[in-house]
Structure 1
Amino acid sequence: MDWDAVIERLGTQLPSDYRWFADVYGAGTFGGWRIAHPDHPLPGFNLWDRIKVQSEAFAFMRTPDGDQESDEDFAASFAEPFPAAGGVLAFADTDTGDGAFWLTGGDPDEWPIYTDDRGSDVRVTLDLTTLDWLAALARGDDPILDQGPVQWAPAPLEYPESP
């Protein structure tokens, strides 16, 4: 993986434990979470796709539509997307739209994990590194998905053709 090219395109370094994990394991699923990789060919597992989709979603959610008095409070409950200072940078999601992000700012190796449960108002900031968060998932300690311990499954390189 050419991490220098990733840094140049993104405009920031990524956590070193994520880079190590991506180099060793690539993209895949861990429990219900799809962990993205910059070079993966499928949109659901491609880091650039994750960043674009989640940034657009958060930007939309932060825009009140003016129909309800509480819209501004609702919009303010969503984090700013990266590249805003301290913005969220997507690296994983679930089939149901839950997201896992880094809260950027300062040393990337100290970025906490921010998880968002799309189906509720549960947004959790975890003072964990990427590998610590993955280890918590392996133990079954996930604040978003209520499941037991999980296993890693590498991502397919292409989607199967329909019969």
Structure 2
Amino acid sequence: MHSAVECLSALVPPTGSRRSRDWTAVERRLGTALPQDYKKLIETYGGGVFDETVWLLDTECPHQGYNLIDQAKECAETLAKLWQVEPKPPQLLEGDGADVLPWAYIEESGAMLYWLRRQGQSPEEWTVMFNEGRGPEWEYHPTQCAPFLLSVLLSLWA
């Protein structure tokens, strides 16, 4: 298991049993491979609310708002329209082919958590972008999704 997912499991014990996925089929439908820490996070917790705040997107969620594939398509369309009238975040301008792919959102705020993907990177190199959702603020976090969640929880509990 990924070390950050192990730490999260100790802090927020998963309810229920392990939730396996056919990741090959998921990645085929999505058109991209996914990071191992995300896969372990979903297999450990499943999609849906995590610690009463963060909603993890999962390809097996029947509700469009929580489904990774549906949200990936919707966010890509929304951001393409947005960036016709607003500038892209600086991190997305640092090379050809940079884009974002959502993996979670924050309850009731509209804020989204994305992977920042750059051309030529493996999913293990993707980092986190946070968008406030109802405004222009973007934050860059040079870490993967599971360590990001762990650091957020630890900072809230400190």
Q: TM-score range by the shorter chain?
A: 0.7 to 0.9
Describe the superposition over 1:34-84 as per-residue Cα deviations: whole angstroms up to 9, x where unpaired: 1111111122221112212211221110112xxxxxxxxx2334876xxx8
2:100 paired with 1:88: yes
Which residue does 2:13 correspond to in 1? none
2:49 paired with 1:29: yes
Could you say what the CA RMSD is over the residues aligned between the two structures, in angstroms?
A: 2.0
- CA 1:26–1:58: 2 relative to 1, 3 Å: same
Which residue does 2:8 correspond to in 1? none
Identity %: 26
Which residue does 1:103 correspond to in 2? 116
- CA 1:10–1:88: 2 relative to 1, 3 Å: same
2:75 paired with 1:54: yes
Aligned length: 130
TM-superposed deviation, 1:96: 2.6
- CA 1:44–1:78: 2 relative to 1, 3 Å: farther
Which residue does 1:11 correspond to in 2? 31
Which residue does 1:114 correspond to in 2? 129
Segments of structure 1 that go 5 or more residues without pairing to the other structure are: 65-73, 141-147, 150-163
- CA 1:78–1:6: 2 relative to 1, 3 Å: farther
Aligned-partner Cα distance in 1 for 2:76–2:90: 11
Which moved further from structure 2: 39-48 or 11-20? 39-48
- Kept in 1: contact 2:112–2:130 (CA 8 A): yes
Describe the superposition over 1:95-139 as per-residue Cα deviations: whole angstroms up to 9, x where unpaired: 332111001130111101011012333211111111101102212
- Kept in 2: contact 1:79–1:88 (CA 8 A): no
Q: Name which one, 1 or 2, has greater alpha-carbon Rg.
A: 1
More helix by share: 2
- Kept in 2: contact 1:58–1:79 (CA 8 A): no
- TM-score normalised by structure 1 residue count: 0.71
Aligned-partner Cα distance in 1 for 2:30–2:90: 22
